[in-house]
Structure 1
């Protein structure tokens, strides 16, 4: 077996292990105001489910099981009077997905008896939450059906950060500064047409096959 191929494979395997790529973590889903965690077992295959406590600092999705009238009013006004409400606002500010179960919204229980003006006030508060990006859902399947899109969007964001081709002094360069390991596959891409130089970090590891590719194609290597 070719020595360079062996070295290339070993380096890539070590890199994968260092970055825990062999066992990808499931997105974290936090439950608010829910005592019966078993109700959400259907999400276990897709998400790492946990109840909220003060030690939880962030998550990928937040599921609000119940929302009282005071909580609805506070959130609609961007206010908070509890750790839970502060966490909801924080996740919204971080751009995370927040879902509220429709059946747990307290004011809706009084639709038949509440004064119309008062009921409409809370309805307007709910509309405000929707403007913030909160989704009111009636079925947990709504979350699982959107999970793949969520993962794809996250992967797209990650990929967008890895490479960029730009032009300096009439010369196209491929920016790989954000990659710790530069392999031949990173260089064998259609967008390489016209690229004359590769920019990498001073700490980047370049595999032997990638080094050969750079030499054979007369590419300039710039470490910054």
Structure 2
């Protein structure tokens, strides 16, 4: 193997490492505000989103800025009132308020809002009061969703992100003559799939670069 080929092989390996780091960066982190010991209860959510963290793994003082989504499976009446009034008197209220200040996407499980369990027996006035507090949370940009809606939303968003990532990896070359430099420039920019016009001529050196770096070339 000559020096030029060695450099290309090393470059390829470095790019693979960069791609791995980029992929890890793209995997958004979801905080579920429950104990990890209860993770089986959220299997349908965690199976759709690979980068999950639970409350007992979370550093309240340091980690909030690293979180992309906050899912709150259970919201007590006290936490509901505290969050609506901007008071962080518990771990849950602290996380939700801090998350809102950091602009994180916060989702509260509708089935886990405690006051709603008393709809059939509660005094109408006190039930309405808690409903007003819930409306405050919605005004803060917090979403109230069912478990089914959460799973569907995560699935759709994750699929969209993957499609965009795949699209960003390909490029079209419409030149009549494709030389080694054209392929190299596209590859070093992160394009792993190169579309070349079926009528274009590809030089032998360009073919060698494609073979050595295992680039996926499609004639269109």
TM-score range, shorter-chain basis?
0.5 to 0.7
Partner of 1:123: helix, strand, or coil? helix
Q: Distance in 1 between matches of 2:130 and 2:89?
A: 18
Q: Mapping of 1:127-166 within 5 angstroms?
A: 127-149=135-157
Q: Which of residues 84, 87, 110 is equivalent to 2:95?
A: 87
TM-score (normalised: structure 2):
0.60
Equivalent in the alignment of 1:28: 29
Does the 8 A contact of 2:44 with 2:151 survive in 1?
A: no
Alpha-carbon RMSD across the aligned residues, in angstroms, is 3.7
Equivalent in the alignment of 1:184: 185
More helix, by proportion: 2
Q: Distance in 2 between matches of 1:143 and 1:95?
A: 21
Pick closer, same or farther for the CA change 1:151–1:2 going to 2, 3 Å: farther
Q: Distance in 2 between matches of 1:19 and 1:41?
A: 28
Q: Distance in 2 between matches of 1:103 and 1:111?
A: 12
Equivalent in the alignment of 2:39: 37
Q: Distance in 2 between matches of 1:77 and 1:12?
A: 54
Pick closer, same or farther for the CA change 1:28–1:4 going to 2, 3 Å: same
Paired positions, count? 166
Alpha-carbon shift at residue 109 of structure 1 (Å): 1.6
Larger CA deviation: 52-61 vs 82-91: 52-61
Name stretches of at least 5 consecutive residues in structure 1 with no aligned partner.
Answer: 157-182, 189-208, 210-224
Alpha-carbon shift at residue 86 of structure 1 (Å): 0.9
TM-score (normalised: structure 1):
0.59
Partner of 1:90: helix, strand, or coil? helix
Does the 8 A contact of 2:30 with 2:70 survive in 1?
A: yes
Q: Distance in 2 between matches of 1:127 and 1:150?
A: 28
Equivalent in the alignment of 1:55: 59
Q: Distance in 2 between matches of 1:4 and 1:141?
A: 54
Pick closer, same or farther for the CA change 1:83–1:118 going to 2, 3 Å: same
Alpha-carbon shift at residue 146 of structure 1 (Å): 3.5
Alpha-carbon shift at residue 43 of structure 1 (Å): 2.5
Alpha-carbon shift at residue 44 of structure 1 (Å): 2.8
Equivalent in the alignment of 1:165: none
Does the 8 A contact of 1:60 with 1:97 survive in 2?
A: yes
Name stretches of at least 5 consecutive residues in structure 2 with no aligned partner.
Answer: 165-183, 192-205, 207-220
Alpha-carbon shift at residue 145 of structure 1 (Å): 3.0
Partner of 2:147: helix, strand, or coil? coil
Q: Distance in 2 between matches of 1:38 and 1:114?
A: 32
Larger CA deviation: 52-61 vs 4-13: 4-13
